[in-house]
Structure formats: structure tokens, C-alpha cells
Amino acid sequence: MKTDTVLLSGGSGFIGSHIAEILSSNHYKVLILIRNQTDLWRLNEIRNKNHILVNLDVPGFKNEIQKHSPTCFIHSAWQGVKATERENWTIQAQNIMFTLEMLSLSNLLGINKIIALGSQAEYGKVEGRISEDTNCNPTTAYGAAKVATQLLLKSFCETHNINWFWLRTFSLYGERENESWLIPSLIKNILSAKPMDLTACEQRYDYMYAGDFSKAIIKTIETKSSSGIFNLSSNSSIVLKDIISQIQNYIRFDSILNFGALPYRTNQVMHIEGNSTKFIERFDVELNANIENMLSKVVNYYKLKFNS
């Protein structure tokens, strides 16, 4: 059953903007929560008449939301996703408190379905293919806060009879990433003919295109299902060096990439991929997108962005 209006937190972020884009293109009205200081550049790129911005810092914002009667809440907001902030316990704890505020608001609004984004960081330092049955043993404040938030979500929603879904994400890529992240920074260096130092890049990671991830969100909204935790990933893995080499070939084959110039991080995980079988079977979706085609699309986006 289709939900006409969706409340979305984190819509100005990388993943949130893709969710907002796919929802609006599927004729949903999207109430996007923002703050006074929110940078709206991503939303400005995908400006859509179905997007309604609701400022949490403006008195009466609850009345504004109630006017549109959302029945589904997608919680993609999260502070402290940069590597330098993932060990900041103060920032990560703020995410837990904000989630509680949003859960209370959802209950007040009569929302009956909540979809929230988890992370592979909840599993901690594990190698190989991971199912939802793998024990969570987070090694960062970020991962620990995600685990705590999942438990809070489950308890609150079951107490208030709200259908809930915790979707654990793995590596996502796409348009509108932060320019300091690997793929955009790699493209920027290659375009400007600057050498780039890298690790040996032998890691096998599970990379999913953000647009495909967002399509799976639509299925989660529209499919009647019991609540639960689900891995949501491409359901496969690829060597990081192969992705980088593909990008290099799309732009400039003779660019100088110094593989092995940087050491791996302490306790570097060399192989991690999500087993998304549970999600695939429950929501009847195919998740294995053609990474070559999607990478080409993403490269063209950043070439236009960096050359403009």
C-alpha cells in the first residue's frame, strides 16, 4: 500500500538526498526536516515541487508536519560520519537523543512505519560475508551509538505498536558525496592531473549505488512486512583497486596513482560484505546492479561538477 506523504530526516545529506529524490520521482510528498544551519546544496540540485522543507528550529514546526499527515518516517540523519568524528562520544551520543525526539514526534503524529539506517560498523572488526545473525561488537563510538539506537528503536516501536525497519548499510557511492570522500577526491585528482597516494587498496568491499539503495527504500515503504533488522547492500563485494582502476580508465589512464604509498589503518578490515538475502526475499528485490554502468554515471556527474 502506497504512502502518500513521508517524513524524512537527513534529507540534505548524501544518502538522504538520494532518498528524497527517489521518493519525489515516485510521486510521494516528502517532508524534509532541516535546521537553521542546514546546507541545502544537495536539495537545490534535485529541487522538486514534492519537497517541503520543515525547519525544526522554527516554532510551530509540529503543526506544519501535522497538516500533511505523514504515515511513514525515514530516519537518515546522523552527525559525526567523518572518520575524524567517529570516535567523538559526545557527537555520537547526540544522535541517540535526537532519535528519541524523532520517535516521540512520530508517535505523536500517528506514524505507523519507521525506517532507520544502521551501519556495518555495528558488527565491528569482522572479515567476510556478514548476515544479520552475526554478533554486534562495535569498535568505534559511531558503531556503538548505532547499536544503541537500534535497540531504542525496537523497544519504542514495539511499545507503541509501530512497524519498524533497521537497515544496515555497507559502502555506498553516488552523486553528491562529500568531496573529501574517496571517489570524489580521486576523480578530482585525476582530472587535475595530480598524483595521489593510496594504500595498496586490496580490500574487498560491498559497494552499492545510492540510487539503487533508495529504490530498495521504496520497496520497504510499500511492502507489508513484519518489523526487523536487515542488511541492505549490493550482496557482493569488489576489490577496491578494481573500482579505482575503472575510474582511472574512464578519465585518464596515465594518471599517477601511487598504490601502496600509504599504510593500512590499524586493525584494517580487508574483506567485508553484507549478506542481503533476508532483505531480498522479504521485499522481492534484485540488488546486484551493474557497477560499471553506475560508476560511469557517477564519474560523468563529478567531471561536470569539477569542470564547471
Residue ranges per structural domain of the chain: 5-173+210-233+273-288, 182-204+237-272+294-307
What pLDDT is attached to residue 290? 76
What is the CATH number that goes with domain 182-204+237-272+294-307? 3.90.25
What pLDDT is attached to residue 1? 44
pLDDT per residue as tens digits for the range 4-48: 999 999 999 999 999 999 999 999 999 999 999 999 999 999 988
What pLDDT is attached to residue 56? 97
- Residue ranges in the chain whose pLDDT is less than 50: 1
Using CA atoms, how far apart are residues 85 and 262, in angstroms rounded to an integer?
21
What pLDDT is attached to residue 2? 52
What pLDDT is attached to residue 266? 85
- Grid cell locating 85: 568524528
Tell me the chain's radius of gyration from C-alpha atoms: 19
301 membership: H or E segment, kind and range: helix 291-307
Using CA atoms, how far apart are residues 151 and 191, in angstroms rounded to an integer?
44
The single residue listed with the C-alpha cell 509501530 is 162
Exposure letters 210-237 (e unless 16+ CB within 10 A, then b): bbbbbbbbbebbeeeeeeebbbbbbbbb
pLDDT per residue as tens digits for the range 215-227: 999 999 999 999 9
Q: Which CATH number fits domain 5-173+210-233+273-288: 3.40.50.2300, 3.40.50.720, 3.40.190.290, 3.40.50.2020?
A: 3.40.50.720
Closest CA to 3 of 20, 27, 21: 27
